[in-house]
Every structure is written in structure tokens, then in C-alpha cells.
A and B are shown apart, each in its own frame.
Chain A
Amino acid sequence: MDNTIRLPENVLAFARLELQKIADELEGIKVVVLATEDGFDIVSAVRDGSDPSRIAAMASSISAISTVVSEEANLGDSKNVIINTVSGFAVMQSIIRNDARLVLNAIANEKAVLAHVIYRTSHFANSLLTL
């Protein structure tokens, strides 16, 4: 896909390394995908056969819908969205860089600890903002 988003090589390298670490180090992670705000996957680490491109599109929809909800309620910019289910959860973290508006999506099963995943995804987001 020909995309207008060109992340600097050091950012891409960091994202590849860090997403793989999140997938390897945190128990229960099924897949982590860094995507553009309009739903294209850029970097991903997959452990369960998920299709990153579908996850990227869904994360983009959910983030956009969350944004209108938070605007309507005067809650300020949406930082993340969490879908908590009986057998796991999905965390979608917005990452607004000057050169790219991104969404990080982590999907985990019931073995994962929500707080750990949020800690790592927020930390990843902050790192991407300073790189």
C-alpha cells in the first residue's frame, strides 16, 4: 500500500523491537499492532494468527468513534479505549505525533493483566512521542 505516512527509520526500528518485546514478555498477549489513524497496519507482532490489517481497521473505527463520544461529552482528547471481555481484553492507545496520527492496539487473553498491558502501551506511546 502506498501510504503518506513515513515514520523515521529510528522510530520504526524502535517500534519493531518494542512491540516484539511486549508480545514476548507479557503473558497472554495475542497480537500488538501499530496502525495509522485511518486503519493501516505499520508494525505488528502476532502470536495467535490474527490478521494485523483487520485489527488496524477496527482500531481505527473504535478510536474515531471514541473521539466523537469524548468530544460530545467535553471530556477532552481520548487517550485510550479498553474493551474488557470475559476472556481477555483489547487496549487501543492513541499516539499523536507531529508527523503521524497513530493507534496502538494490543489484544490479550484472560492470562494477561490489564494494568501491565496498559502500562506497557502507554509507555510505548510516550516513547514514540519523544523519538
Chain B
Amino acid sequence: MNEYKILFTGTMGAGKTTAIGSVSEAAPIVTDVANTDLSLGKERTTVGLDFGLLTLASGDRIRLFGTPGQQRFDFLWKILAKSAIGLIILVDNSRSDPLADLVVYLDGFAEDLSVLPCAIGIGRLDTHPVPTLEDYIDILANRNQLVPIMSVDVRRREDVVLLIDTLLAQLEANTFGA
């Protein structure tokens, strides 16, 4: 049996807390507090970390951590990324510039991404079809980053499991990093 740590990141409201809650076996640890930032229309926001646990069919246990989204918490990004075996970046396609959002996390985790596998999940593509997955792939290609990217609804357990499986598959095939 192996134990892995996976880190979820992405903008506030992209669904990190929801994703971890969707797949965690035990009640997840949540550090959300009342949001006071009027520029972000959301009631509660993660200021510490999210934590959940998931046992895969193989018996492997995954420890799932989530970061706060806002850049003012970037000191935690580094701490939480320590000893992670992979990174999942969530993007909310309903925001004003989701492509720029993705770049914030590609840059913020650049060091980690040079040695860790990553999977990117784009949410709300059904209601907000632009930018398209191709637009994201172009951004990644321009940066020479080959990262699997998919449309997800993190409220659905199977979508989150697919993101995790995509990470683990890269680990097995050893096809990641810059």
C-alpha cells in the first residue's frame, strides 16, 4: 500500500473545497471563514487548508490537500506543496479571465511543476463555453507545458477521481515535468 499526497489549487470559487469533499471518505477538514472581499461574490473562503482522505481500489491511500485560492495566501502554497506527488489546478470558466487565472497558478507553482505531474480541470464549461479547452491547450503549448486538461464538475465524485487517476497515470508512465 502506498500513501500519496496530492494538492488542489486554483482561484477562489473554482471548487477546491468541493472537490476534496466530493471524494473524501472521512469528513474533510475545512478552514473556511466568512469572506469579506466584495470583489469576490462568495460567502465563505478557505484561509488555511482543506484536507481529505481517499482510498483507491488498489488500496493506495491519497491524502488530499487544498490551498486557499487568493494570492495573498501564497506563503501557504509552498508549505502545502511540500512532499506532494502531484498538483491539480482547478479553473472556473465563468470568471472574467480564466486563462490568466490558470497562468497565476502555473507561475506560482512553477518550481513544483518542473518536477511534479499536474492535471488541470476546467469547471462550468457547460454554461461558459469560452475560452475553450483548445484555448487552454494553446497557453500550455506556448509555455512548453504538456499537462492533461479536462472539463470537470467537481461536485461529481467521478470527475474528481478522474483528475486524480490522470495524475497517478503520469507518475506510473513517468511522463511529466519540464
Query: Which A residues lie at the B interface, using CB under 8 A?
Result: 1-5, 36-40, 53-54, 56-58, 60-62, 64-65, 67-68, 72, 101
Contact = CB atoms under 8 A, between A and B. Distances in A.
B104 to A, nearest CB: 16
A101 B34 CA distance: 8
Contact of A60 (B29, B30, B33, B38): B33
Given A54-B72, A65-B49, A38 B34 contact: yes
A37 B37 contact: no
A40 B48 contact: no
A65 B32 CA distance: 10
B162 interface: no
Contact of A4 (B38, B48, B49, B68): B38
Interface of B: 29-39, 45, 47-49, 68, 70, 72-73, 75-76
B37 A61 contact: no
Given A53-B72, A64-B31, A68-B29, A3 B48 contact: no
Given A64-B31, A65-B49, A68-B29, A58 B37 contact: no
Contact of A3 (B30, B33, B37, B45): B37
Nearest to A37: B33
B34 A37 contact: yes
A121 B37 CA distance: 26
Contacts of A67: 31
A38 B35 contact: yes
A2 B47 contact: no
A41 to B, nearest CB: 10
Contacts of B72: 39, 53-54, 56-57
Given A61-B48, A61-B73, A68 B36 contact: no
B31 A57 contact: no
A67 to B, nearest CB: 7
Contacts of A57: 47, 72-73, 75
